Amino acid sequence: MLRLRRDAVKSWKSSSAKVAKVSAKGKITAQKKTGKATVTVTLKSGKKATVKVTVQKKEVKTTKITGVAKKAGKSKITVKSGSKKAVMTVTVKKK
């Protein structure tokens, strides 16, 4: 008989809470201090994953973003770099 092992999040942690805080549900919030932080999620099985976050004072200037809904609401953006990828949820506000 095949048994599927279910895993769950045990904890979230930021390497620098002055730069970026992370909630118990994994929501990352930039703080007033600029710099870099590593956010780590630990599963009950002991597996860990990390994401590096950079907080800066100035806005990031973009010339074009594709794949985001033009209507107001929430959209997911996937950024890939080599074998790594990050998925972000963005909120598009009404003008």
Per-residue pLDDT of the chain (95 residues; tens, 9 = 90+): 555 567 888 999 999 999 999 999 888 999 999 999 999 999 888 889 999 999 988 876 666 656 666 677 777 777 776 677 777 777 777 66
Cβ(48)–Cβ(41) below 8 Å = yes
In a domain, residue 2? The reply is no
In a domain, residue 36? The reply is yes
CATH number, domain containing residue 27: 2.60.40
Sequence-distant (6+) residues with CB within 8 A of 36 are: 16, 19, 52, 53, 54, 55
* pTM of the complete model beyond 0.75: no
In a domain, residue 4? The reply is no
The parent domain of residue 48 ranges over 9-57+68-92
Sequence-distant (6+) residues with CB within 8 A of 95 are: none
In a domain, residue 1? The reply is no
Domains held by the chain: number:
1
Look up residue 52 and give its DSSP letter.
Answer: E
